[in-house]
Amino acid sequence: MYNINKLKETFNKNNCDVLIAVTKENIRYFSGFSPVCKTLRPYTSDVYILIHRDDLSTINVIHSLGEIDQILDKYSDVKLNKVYTYGEFYRENFGLELSDDEKVINKYSQKNFNYSDASEALFAMLKDLKAKKILLDEEGINFKKYYELKDKLKNIDIINGSYEIKKIRSVKTEKEIQLLKKSANIIEYAINHIKNLPYTKLTEEVVVQEFNKCVASYGGIPTLPMIKIGRGAVGGQRLPNNYAEFPNETFIWFDCDICYKGYWSDVARIIISQFSQYEYHEAYGVLYQAQREAIQKIQPGMKAREVYSIVMDYATQNGMTHYKRNHVGHGIGLEPYEMPVLSKNNDQIIEENMVLCIETPYYEYGVGALHVEDLIVVKKGGNIILNQTSGELIEWSGNGDM
């Protein structure tokens, strides 16, 4: 289930009756399912999850008739109240005995609460819920629909609520923490797989293919595997090539984002050909220790900008006087970048059970990139690192045993 305590705080703070989730991530957060139409038509499709302040553990759903079967994938510990559909879809029934799942689909496929479009369904549900003041996830609605809603809901006070929902999501439940840990560990399994490949040489295309296959074998989706060999890592967002070769170039840079059951991880590591051949031990050591300094010192109640200062002060005072960064990490969850961003001007307060990516990237022409990034859970009694590996430089096994 979602963070019901933070949800209650949000209702009290904004004094509203109903919260409406609209974005794919927020629908998933409150319902447990990710609407198919939000992938197929991310900018024009309509799905709404409504929660009333009088029953925070119950959701109300508006979904297209064709995808109403996704109701079956909702959280088992979240109750379901009203379900309204819109549009047309046809599932034939010629009198066969239905399974339990089919009975649920058939129940919510009836015409009683089916509307011509999503807006009509939303207006009807808000009326039935007796909503007077709503917290609307406005980032999930395009400009045209937003103003149509405001025009038709003149008797309802609408508060923009996307920021408030992000704040709810920023403090993770125990279930979310375990999913984030698994997601991070899958990246580490894949990097270890690359370390042990029995090849005499590797190109970026081969590394990315092997990385992606390994991630998929553990149930992950390799959404953004940024992997570069050698000095090419200075432009790490580019597509992989087949001309840079390792170990001719002495390192492979990984800054990889994957998704596991909806939850992202963002981990950075460096594989080097041989410790004796790597030129940047000292600089990497400073960046690594700067990251560890932050991991050790972060605590609930601290401001995001204070974490930035910890990292930057350590790096610049221990040999990297020229080190510059716009941020040193960020929250993570159903999106790869969540609150808070650990930047120099961010006063957002860090809370217990936030999951943060702490990173110290460095890019230099002619060098490439030095980078370490790990996920931590913020705890009063000491932060917990979700990664299994240390973040130190990884030596390639070369032709060693798999």
Could you report the per-residue pLDDT of 294-345, keeping only the tens digit for each? 999 999 999 999 999 999 999 999 999 999 999 999 999 999 999 999 999 9
Give pLDDT, residue 277.
Answer: 86
First-to-last C-alpha distance (Å) of the chain: 40
For residues 142-154, give the mean pLDDT.
92
d(CA 331, CA 338): 4
What does the block give as tokens for 169?
């999501």
Q: What is the mean pLDDT of residues 102-113?
A: 96
pLDDT greater than 90 at residue 257:
yes
84-103 average pLDDT score: 97
Q: How confident is the model at residue 400 (pLDDT cuts 50, 70, 90)?
A: very low
Compute the distance between CA of residue 62 and CA of residue 20 in angstroms, rounded to an integer: 10
Q: Which residue has tokens 């990297």?
A: 320
| Cβ-based neighbours of 259, under 8 Å, separated by 6 or more | 183, 220, 221, 223
* CA-CA-CA-CA torsion sign (141, 143, 144, 146): positive
If you classify domain 174-395 with CATH, what class do you get? alpha beta
| The pLDDT value given to residue 9 | 98
CATH fold, domain 4-170, is: Creatine Amidinohydrolase; Chain A, domain 1 (3.40.350)
List beta partners, residue 259: 221, 264
Query: Residue 252 has what pLDDT?
Result: 98
Spatial contact of 353 and 171, defined as CB atoms under 8 Å apart: yes
Work out the mean pLDDT of the chain and round it to a whole number.
97
Q: How far apart are CA 176 and CA 264, in angstroms?
A: 10
Q: What is the DSSP letter of 29?
A: H
Task: Work out the pLDDT band at 401, boundaries 50, 70, 90.
Answer: very low
CA distance 301 to 171: 13
Q: Is the confidence at residue 1, as pLDDT, over 90? A: no
Say if residue 355 is exposed, middle or buried (CB neighbours under 10 Å; 0-12, 13-18, 19+). Answer: buried
The pLDDT value recorded for residue 402 is 32
pLDDT confidence of 84, banded at 50, 70, 90? very high
Model confidence at 215: pLDDT above 60: yes
Residue range(s) in the chain whose domain bears CATH number 3.90.230.10: 174-395
Predicted local confidence at residue 137, as pLDDT:
98
Given this model, what pLDDT does residue 99 score?
98
Q: Which pairs count as long-range contacts for 208-216, CB under 8 Å and 24+ apart, including other chains?
A: 208/240, 211/254, 211/256, 214/189, 214/190, 215/186, 215/187, 215/189, 215/190, 215/258
Which of 292, 289, 272 minimizes the C-alpha distance to 280? 272
- What residues does CATH 3.40.350.10 cover in the chain? 4-170
| pLDDT mean over 364-391 | 98
* Per-residue model confidence (pLDDT) at position 347: 99
CA dist 219 to 185, 212, 272, Å? 12, 11, 27
- Average pLDDT of the residues in 223-235: 98
Percent of the chain's residues with pLDDT above 70: 99
| pTM of the predicted protein model | 0.96
Q: Is the dihedral of CA 47, 52, 57, 60 positive or negative?
A: negative
pLDDT of residue 276: 86
* 63/50 Cα distance (integer angstroms): 11
